[in-house]
Amino acid sequence: MRLVRFTPLLLGFVLLMPLTATAQVLDGKSELAANAAIQYWQAFALMPALDKDQEKIVGEWSTVSLDDPAVKKLLETSHNSLMYLHRGAALQKCDWGLDYNDGISMLMPHLGKARDLARLAALDGRRAFENRNWKAGRRDATSMMVLARHINRDPVMIALLVSLGIEGMVVDLVAPYAPDIKASHTDAVTMFEALPPPVTLERSILFEKKWMGGWIVPHLKAEEARQKGAGLELWGKFLDGDAPASLKNMTTIDEVIKLVEDGIPIYDDLARLAALPNDQFAAQYPVFKQKIKAEHPLAALLLPAIDQLRAKEQRNHARLAMLLAGIAVVESGQDKLKELKVPFGPYDYRALDKGFELKSKLLYEGQPVILTIGRRK
Amino acid sequence: MNDHNRLESELAALRPHEPSPQLGQRIADELNSNAPAQARWRSSRAWWSGAMAGGLIAACLAAGLLLGPAPGRNQELAPPLAPLQLPVAVAFDDALPTVWTYNRALSRSARDFESVLDKHAAAASAAGGAAPHLFIQSDMQLLLQGEL
């Protein structure tokens, strides 16, 4: 009799069952939640809305006074946000759900938010290190590195740039405290090699060719098909005040389309150049750039400054390698540098009051890239 | 008076015995023990009705989803759906965090790029207002009452 009473309820549940198919499994976690981006977006949603003073604090996270009540309050209100950062960083997969078909219109609201989240984590990590809470500080640093690599998962050039910025913050966070943390070099290298792999500039350039450069012609044609003259109007929007007159004075959409299509193969040349060793790049790129500027005025408009991006990528690479080398020196002494195979090395060592300095062979904006390990007196 | 009339008179004079106090108590006891059963029966009937209603609603929803709108229905009265493709104009709106906006900023300078990132992150924070309310179990009552 009691079973009969349950029958209509069971019938109702059976009909509703497809809607419950994605419910959480018994351990409280869903497979669908194993996308780090979902955790990061919760972190973004929980970040405090920063006023002007707080924006200044996070912008100056490496120097602001940790005893300032405003800093303490900001970190208190960031606690939940940082928790979700760590949860996201513990996951392998990250998919931001971008639709590359959106081309140059593709919205990337997560970039600015990720940078702010990384700054909050850097501030939190610095406080942890100051309090000699090495474990908490290292967790912040590791999560920031993973976030950087997850941002870079989509090979869009601006994502690469934000990713490099966050990795730079990690170096700035850890380097001053490396002599106190006394981490194992082997463990540090293992952690570093376990990170999601970075996307290279070369791959970003080829991605931009397909999804950004490749977006333009179909949309010009579609606009022109929608309404005569609308294609040229759209073309006008691409041109800012500095665009060459030859581009502004185009009178037919067919001229514009031919110009764009002729410019697309330049991406392949850029990708090839970006992958060259430094000396060859330094020799070939300036000549290439001049040639392109004269023959393809569109290139200057559409193609990003590859030389600047490449320089930043290399500087970041050098600084990360120097940080790892610095950890090895703290552990085993400066003679350890002779054994390490490092990019842009060998590094020159110079002792300081409370630490030391490593200088690489890489030049950035004309100056050698240097990393200070430990804090100056 | 004949015998029949006398019998009738005797019968008419008969009165039932007054119920004993014990009988009254037994009836009261019986009524009290049946009350939960009756309440359960009423509750069971309400549950049955609710489950059936829920099942029927689910069936109607499923049918509606599977069968779709009938042809010729007045769809033009429904409000237009938001487009699934981004309008081209979005690319050139500096207030939006698009690839084009960031690329143009970067082509001007790295500082410009950083400023635009800051601007968009701040705009998102301002739009979102204060940190979102964290719903907890005790909010359930408020939700049920429609307070939120």
What pLDDT digit, counting tens, does each position of A179-190 carry? 999 999 999 999
**pLDDT tens, position by position, A186-210:** 999 999 999 999 999 999 999 999 9
| B positions 53-82 inside 8 Å of A (CB) | 54-55, 58-59, 62
| B120–chain A Cβ distance below 8 A for any pair | yes
Pairing assessment for the beta strands A355-364 and A348-352 based on DSSP bridges: antiparallel
Q: A355 forms bridges with which residues in the sheet? A: A352, A374
B108 vs A286, B111, B112, CA distance in Å? 19, 8, 7
* Least CB–CB distance from A111: residue in B48, B62, B117: B117
Peptide linkage before A109 cis (omega within 30 of 0): no
Which H, E and C letters describe A78-125, residue by residue? CHHHHHHHHHHHCCCCCCCCCCHHHHHHCECCHHHHHHHHHHHHHHHH
Q: Determine, for residues B99 and A212 on separate chains, whether the beta-carbon distance falls below 8 Å.
A: yes
Q: How confident is the model at residue A32 (pLDDT cuts 50, 70, 90)?
A: confident
Whether residue A25 has pLDDT greater than 70: no
Average pLDDT over residues A358-364: 96
DSSP H helices, chain A, are 2-20, 36-46, 52-59, 69-77, 79-89, 110-130, 134-151, 157-174, 178-181, 185-193, 201-208, 214-226, 230-238, 245-248, 253-263, 266-274, 278-295, 297-302, 306-332
Q: Which of A2, A15, A20 to mutate to test the interface with B (most CBs of B within 10 A)?
A: A15
Q: How confident is the model at residue A307 (pLDDT cuts 50, 70, 90)?
A: confident
Q: Of residues A245 and A8, which shows the higher confidence score?
A: A245
Residue B85 three-state SS: coil
How far apart CA A108 and CA B91 sit, in angstroms, is: 11
pLDDT at B88: 85
How far apart CA A47 and CA A116 sit, in angstroms, is: 9
How far apart CA A126 and CA A145 sit, in angstroms, is: 15
ipTM above threshold 0.95? no
In angstroms, the separation between the Cα of residue A158 and the nearest Cα of chain B is: 7
In angstroms, the separation between the Cα of residue B119 and the nearest Cα of chain A is: 8
In angstroms, the separation between the Cα of residue B103 and the nearest Cα of chain A is: 7
Phi, psi of A368 (to 5 degrees): -65, 145
- Most confident option among A5-14, A131-140, A260-269, B104-113: A131-140
Q: Determine, for residues B52 and A12 on separate chains, whether the beta-carbon distance falls below 8 Å.
A: yes
Residue A355 three-state SS: strand
How far apart CA A94 and CA A41 sit, in angstroms, is: 11
pLDDT digit string (tens) for chain B, length 148 residues: 456 677 778 777 777 777 777 887 888 777 776 555 555 666 666 666 666 766 777 666 666 666 655 555 545 566 677 667 888 888 889 999 999 999 889 888 888 999 999 989 887 766 655 555 666 666 666 666 654 5
Instruction: Using an 8 Å CB-CB cutoff, list chain A residues near B132.
Output: 45-46
- Most confident option among A243-247, A354-358, B14-18, B49-53: A354-358
* Least CB–CB distance from A5: residue in B48, B54, B104: B48
**pLDDT tens, position by position, A59-117:** 999 999 999 999 999 999 999 999 999 999 999 999 999 999 999 999 999 999 999 99
Q: Determine, for residues B98 and A115 on separate chains, whether the beta-carbon distance falls below 8 Å.
A: no
Q: State the Cα angle at A295 between A161 and A255, rounded to 5°.
A: 95
In angstroms, the separation between the Cα of residue A373 and the nearest Cα of chain B is: 26
pLDDT at B62: 65
pLDDT at A22: 47
Average pLDDT over residues A258-269: 90
pLDDT at A3: 57
Instruction: Using an 8 Å CB-CB cutoff, list chain A residues near B120.
Output: 109, 111-112
Average pLDDT over residues A338-359: 95
B65 vs B56, B68, B146, CA distance in Å? 14, 5, 28
Report the amino acid identity of residue B55: G
Instruction: Using an 8 Å CB-CB cutoff, list chain A residues near B98.
Output: 104-108
Q: Determine, for residues B120 and A8 on separate chains, whether the beta-carbon distance falls below 8 Å.
A: no
Report the amino acid identity of residue A213: G
Average pLDDT over residues A312-335: 97
How far apart CA B121 and CA A59 sit, in angstroms, is: 13
Whether residue A235 has pLDDT greater than 50: yes
Instruction: Using an 8 Å CB-CB cutoff, list chain A residues near B103.
Output: 104, 157-158, 212, 304
Is there a contact between A109 and A51 (Cβ–Cβ < 8 Å)? no
How far apart CA A169 and CA A62 sit, in angstroms, is: 9
Instruction: Using an 8 Å CB-CB cutoff, list chain A residues near B83.
Output: none
Q: What percent of chain A has pLDDT over 90?
A: 75
* Least CB–CB distance from A104: residue in B98, B107, B130: B98
Element of type H or E holding A361: strand A355-364
pLDDT at A12: 52
pLDDT at A351: 96
Backbone dihedral region of A73: left (phi > 0), alpha (psi from -120 to 50 degrees) or beta? Answer: alpha
| B112–chain A Cβ distance below 8 A for any pair | no
Average pLDDT over residues A45-54: 92
| B positions 80-99 inside 8 Å of A (CB) | 85-88, 90-92, 96-99
Q: Which of B65, B117, B134, B135 to mutate to test the interface with A (most CBs of A within 10 A)?
A: B117
Whether residue A312 has pLDDT greater than 90: yes
pLDDT at A224: 94
DSSP secondary structure letters along A8-62: HHHHHHHHHHHHHTTS--TTS--GGGG-HHHHHHHHHHHSPPP-HHHHHHHHTTT
Is this model's pTM higher than 0.80 or not? no
Q: Which of A375, A377, A369, A352 is nearest to A179 (CA)?
A: A375
Per-residue burial over A96-114, b if 16 or more Cβ lie within 10 Å, else e, is bebebebbbbbbbbbbbbb
Which structure tokens are listed for B13?
Answer: 């004079």
Instruction: Using an 8 Å CB-CB cutoff, list chain A residues near B96.
Output: 107
- Residue of chain A whose alpha carbon sits nearest to that of B115: A112
Backbone dihedral region of B98: left (phi > 0), alpha (psi from -120 to 50 degrees) or beta? Answer: beta
pLDDT at B137: 67
Q: Determine, for residues A104 and B48 on separate chains, whether the beta-carbon distance falls below 8 Å.
A: no
- The chain-wide mean pLDDT, for chain A, equals 90
pLDDT at A26: 57
- Residue of chain A whose alpha carbon sits nearest to that of B89: A105
Q: Determine, for residues A112 and B54 on separate chains, whether the beta-carbon distance falls below 8 Å.
A: no
pLDDT at B10: 79
